[in-house]
Amino acid sequence: MVRSSPLPAAAGGALLAALVLTGCGSDDDGAAASPSSPASAGVPLDESVGGSPSPSTTSSSADASAEYVPASLDGPAQNVPKPVMPELAREESREGAQAFLDYWSDAMWYAYQTGDTSYARDIISDSCDVCSDQLDLLEEIYQSDAWAVGGRESVTIKESTITSGPDGVYKPVVSGVTEGAKLIENGQVSLDVPPDSGAGDPHVIYMDYVQGEWVYISAANLPGGNHADT
């Protein structure tokens, strides 16, 4: 699904970023399905402005004395727990794929909260140019002293079983719920992307399984879906 919403940012020359996580995708089914090497392989989010991380995927190595502070008009999030990939997310199964997508969501949210895109890059295919552009622009936003609020999406595989295609790529149909996101520049909300329940708008995520690890390749709309926000 490509329900990307542009995030234009004037500060520091940042120009564009997709605030809906399934923006890491393509409208072209065929173009999205080429396997690629992984980079390696997040964390969860929200409430109010910045969201709160899920305890199941937060890093135990984080400073226990430093309390997580959600992003707000006053500043970016602080002491954001680092993503931790569970062992299940390395299993080649339907449950493993879901755990991996949960981690992918965590890693992307961490990038939105901190501007640190390393966790997301480690699990996303080098062939996903849209993903790379999105992460590059997130880095630019933070380098420009702007920041994001929110940006969390939860993705759920709709099928009870998943199998790879002749090309070796898995293409599970998923539904996604986004909490919405804001861009903060100079203490002001310069862009406000509303939440999206994803109702009636399933999409396909392309995933490869290489050397014992999942790789996120891309996402694409399903024909006939509700793509009003594309």
Please give the average pLDDT of every successive group of 10 residues along the chain, which has 230 residues.
32 34 47 44 33 44 73 95 97 98 96 96 94 93 94 92 95 92 93 83 93 95 57
Per residue in 75-107, pLDDT (tens digit) is: 999 999 999 999 999 999 999 999 999 999 999
Return the H-helix or E-strand segment holding 62: none
The pair phi, psi for residue 148, each rounded to 5°, is -110, 150
What pLDDT sits at residue 23? Answer: 45
What pLDDT sits at residue 24? Answer: 54
What pLDDT sits at residue 65? Answer: 64
What pLDDT sits at residue 122? Answer: 97
What pLDDT sits at residue 179? Answer: 87
Return the H-helix or E-strand segment holding 204: strand 203-210
The answer to whether 117 and 42 have CB atoms below 8 angstroms apart is no
How is the chain split into domains, by residue range? 11-221
What pLDDT sits at residue 50? Answer: 41
